[in-house]
Structure 1
């Protein structure tokens, strides 16, 4: 069920991040963390039987760690940029 929901969640994350929305950054981290957990859970039986299958999950895991680790710094930069652009706008 979760992997089917990614059909909606992944494009939503892409649109929100493309629009430089803070919600998109947080959602990207959450979806990636859940995706990693789902992939590890779904492949755990293969990993127990043949640990060399870990190589299949390594690129996804490294990318997931990168995405999750970069959410807080990105969120801070976007928040700072948004706050700066709002103060620069003239009052109507």
Structure 2
């Protein structure tokens, strides 16, 4: 398994390896942030968000973020898909949940800037990275035989 994984990482273009490392770092930082929030505030760490689905999602990131790290680290296309989905929901939930604070104190926009920039990076790199990972899989690439719409 380790040799195969090392070989698969080695087959990635340099740009894709760099992007994958940024994904790993970003989701590890996100995990650390949410784990620290839960350590400080317990299960109600996100009670400041009036929307219960947001609270559940933010608590769930303690599981989702490391799951993305493992799946991306193993070069699973599903991990890249999950990374995109997590970031879309995370950025949207943070902007929506913080909209009233941003209106009252626009300086808090700086707090959302790193998350937003990382989210834009993940979404912008999502499709090319997915293709690069698929093309580096052993055997015929599923992307090569896909029928174009």
TM-score of the superposition, structure 1-length normalised?
A: 0.87
CA distance in 1, matches of 2:84, 2:113: 18
Alignment size in residue pairs: 85
Instruction: Let me know the Cα RMSD of the aligned residues.
Output: 1.0
Match of 2:57 in 1: 2
Asked if residue 63 in structure 1 is aligned to residue 118 in structure 2, the reply is yes
Structure 2 gap ranges (5+): 1-55, 141-149
Cα deviation per residue 1:31-69 (whole Å; 9 max; x = unaligned)? Answer: 011110111112111111112211111111111100111
Q: Which residue of 2 aligns with 1:24?
A: 79
TM-fit CA distance, 1:72: 0.4
Indicate the structure with greater helix content: 1
The answer for the alignment partner of 1:47 in structure 2 is 102
